[in-house]
Amino acid sequence: MSKTANKQRRSTTDEPEHVFGLDVEGDLAFLITEGKKHLQRFNVDLVSRAFRFCVEAHKKDVRVSGEPYYTHPANVALIVMREIPLDDVSVVAALLHDVVEDTTFSLKDLKAEFGTEVADIVDGATKISDVFESREITQAENYRKLLLSLVNDVRVILVKFADRLHNMRTIESLSRERQERMARETMEIYAPFAHRFGLGNIKWELEDLSFKVLHRDAYDDIKHQLNTSREEREEFIERFSKPVADKLTEHGVKFEINGRPKHLYSIYKKMATQGKSLDELYDLFAVRIILETEENNDCFLAYGIASEIYRPVPERFKNYISVPKKNGYQSLHTTVISSDGKRVEVQIRTRAMHEFAERGVAAHFRYKAASGGTASWVDSTDLEEWANWVRDVFENDDEEAAKDLLESFKLNLYQDEIYVFTPKGDLRILPKGATPIDFAFDIHSQVGAMCIGAKVNGRIVPLDHMLKTGDQVVILTSKNQTPHRDWERIAITHKAKTHIRRILNEERRARVVEGKDLWEKRARKLKLHINEDELEKLLLHMKYDSRSEFYAALGSGTLSPEAAGEMISQLLQPAATPVKEAPSNVTFDQFSDTARDTASGVYIVGQNMSSAKILFSYARCCNPVPGDDVVGIVTIGSGIKVHRSTCHNVIGLHDKLKPRLVELSWSQSQRGEFLAAVKITGEDRPGMLNDITSAVISIQKTNIRGVNIDAYDSIFEGILTVYVLDLAHLRRIFEKLLKIKGVETVERFEA
């Protein structure tokens, strides 16, 4: 049996016409007839109850066109039956897809009446609608991924395709502004997404309908030219197809040949890309050979026949049978030169391949049921080709996850991930629990390295703030910023942790190199001749575990070359003995002796210690800077911990610490930068964080180490950590901050 036909692509317009809204009972009868005709599984009672529920729920609603509102879900259900034929549950969900969003009925009501499966599909469809209502579409591929994050059942997306297709078919009733918005949204999101699902017919119609709205003049012009040449085109296709049909018949192959023009939007794109007029395009139409066979090799036989009759264009041959497209599409594509010199695209496929090309994932379900297999959507596992596409969509190489997907048909591989947006609307996928630091490094390693703060949905947040799906994140940076050790604890992504660790290690290596150079210069000046092994032993007495730790202390300025030289010189003297840790009940004098014996500092001079050098470190609770009144707490074997005299840790434990307190003053010759913490509060407003950081940096190019700010209602409170030279430097920062509009208080911070 063979047949040739000159026909346009099949759509619902080829099916029996029916106008919904004139007779409710007649509408229900029509739906039942169509459901039985197109679906393998069709529960008449379930669909009837859903239809009546839909009519009742929307009885007070009308469409913009003036029709009863229920006509829209009825048409969506009809599309689900005819063009994405899945199951009766999908039809019921289509009938009810707007109930929760537009009526007084709740999801709980639907679950009680129609079950969890239907309610979940309706819930997913409602979530997708909410996304489009609340956000401007800026990146289509990103929003397609976001859609997938919001649904658990693939049927949600398929119902949304049907919903959008009917809305586009009736778009003329909307205002021009709404038409353009919907058409852009359809072109950028729904049409490409339908392509990924393998829904060829729906994709093409959505594109053409959107094209008609967005470029009406071009649409009308191309359509007019195609209609003008229709008879000529049909005659050409008949003439071209006949010798191929005759040869196939000779080989006993059952087939169908039809010709169709390229879709209007694809012609428009080709004209724009090639810079040609319609008359100059040769491949305006394609001839499709559909074989009634289950043998894929028959397609290659048909290709051989066509290539014998017409000269093929070698570079235009595509074998999508051996290597299917990501969405599972299979077919042979070739372009041949006709007898009168025209280029003609020829597509060759089996009937099963054609059904999949037209209906995508639904075709697998349909064939499974038709062959006597289970009609249950959830239990269907005969979808290996479609799984290839799923792995591509989800960018997931986990084979076990793909198998689980086949078994359950649940698109939930991203259940432990969040979807957050840049200020421009670009989407970033991060693990659940990710922070602004993870987001910053995901944007770029340099952005992460210079991060000093973040705003989420317009509000200032601390760097350890946990992001959630839908957040829009703005990262604030400073070229003076570098990562801190704390960031490794805050970050959770491998990328962020790796970059932070690498930057910190690079900084440490640089300090080690600088420190080694400082030590070698000092050793030469003191004429100390020590090999590396001897130095390593001496450093153990100074509480350094390795030479690199010693060099890093020198490079960072926490240990001066002069103090290091003096200590090592003392240790080299014959009388020198290792420093022993003092017992817990030692006296003040014993603590002082320990401090003297381990002297290594250069910035602070103890009044009770004359000009002795002291091994010291600065307390992080109060962050003293030169100019502050300071006091020292002697520690066992580690020198002195320097605090501000007003530090609450010192005041609160003064009596207990009294035996270990040492009165200190700043050396006049000290140089370097000191870490200071500043608490700031005020009115939260757009641009506030930027104003704060700009003000700080403007003073002597102050280096900001970090910003950690929380906002509550319209008030913000935060901590800035900055590097300053002395108290006068810090006071100038205070003065500058207090001049910022909305800033109320600025004060030193104590942890």
- Give φ, ψ of 747 to 5 degrees: -150, 165
Q: Do 558 and 550 contact (CB within 8 A), yes or no?
A: no
Cα 140 off chain centre by? 12
Q: Across the chain, how many H-helices and E-strands are there?
A: 32, 21
Q: Active-site residues: which are they?
A: 101-102
Alpha helices for 39-173 (secondary structure H)? 44-57, 71-82, 88-96, 99-102, 107-114, 116-134, 140-149, 154-169
The structure tokens 């003392």 sit at 570
Q: Which residues pair with 456 in a beta bridge?
A: 459, 473
Locus of tokens 């035996």: 659
In sequence order, the 6+-apart residues with CB closer than 8 A to the CB of 313 are: 334, 335, 336, 337, 343
Determine contact, residues 255/2, Cβ cutoff 8 Å.
yes
- Distance, CA of 561 to CA of 35 (rounded, Å): 88
Q: Phi/psi at 630 (nearest 5 deg)?
A: -125, 160
Task: Supply φ then ψ for residue 347, to 5 degrees.
Answer: -115, 130
Sheet order of strands, 451-456 included: 459-461, 451-456, 473-477
Give CA angle at 253 (248, 255), nearest 5°: 85
Q: Which two tokens stand for residue 297?
A: 């090799």
Dist. CA 245–CA 279, nearest whole Å: 28
* 9: DSSP letter: P
Nearest to 619 by CA among 721, 729, 719, 751: 751
SS3 83: coil
Cα distance between residue 434 and residue 607, in whole Å: 50
At 703, list the tokens: 């280096």
| Cα–Cα distance list, 15 to 79, 91, 170, 706 (Å) | 11, 18, 18, 67
| Residues 448 and 507: beta-carbon distance below 8 Å | no
The 10 Å CB-count burial string (b at 16+, else e) for 427-457 is bbbbeeebbbbbbbbbeebeebbbbbbbbbe
DSSP 403-451: HHHHHH-B--TTTTEEEEE-TT--EEEEETT--HHHHHHHH-HHHHHTE
If we measure between CA atoms, which residue out of 553, 651, 662 comes closest to residue 614? 662
The amino acid sitting at 675 is L
**Hunting for tokens 């000290």 — which residue is that?**
670
Please check whether residue 248 is in contact with residue 302, taking contact to mean a CB–CB distance below 8 angstroms.
yes
Which DSSP string do the residues of 156-213 spell out, in sequence order? HHHHHHHHHHHHHHTGGGS-HHHHHHHHHHIIIIIHHHHHHTT-HHHHHHHHHHHHHH
d(CA 27, CA 19): 8
Tokens 């197809």 sit at which residue?
241
DSSP conformation letters of 344-376? EEEEEEEHHHHHHHHHTHHHHHHHHHHTT----
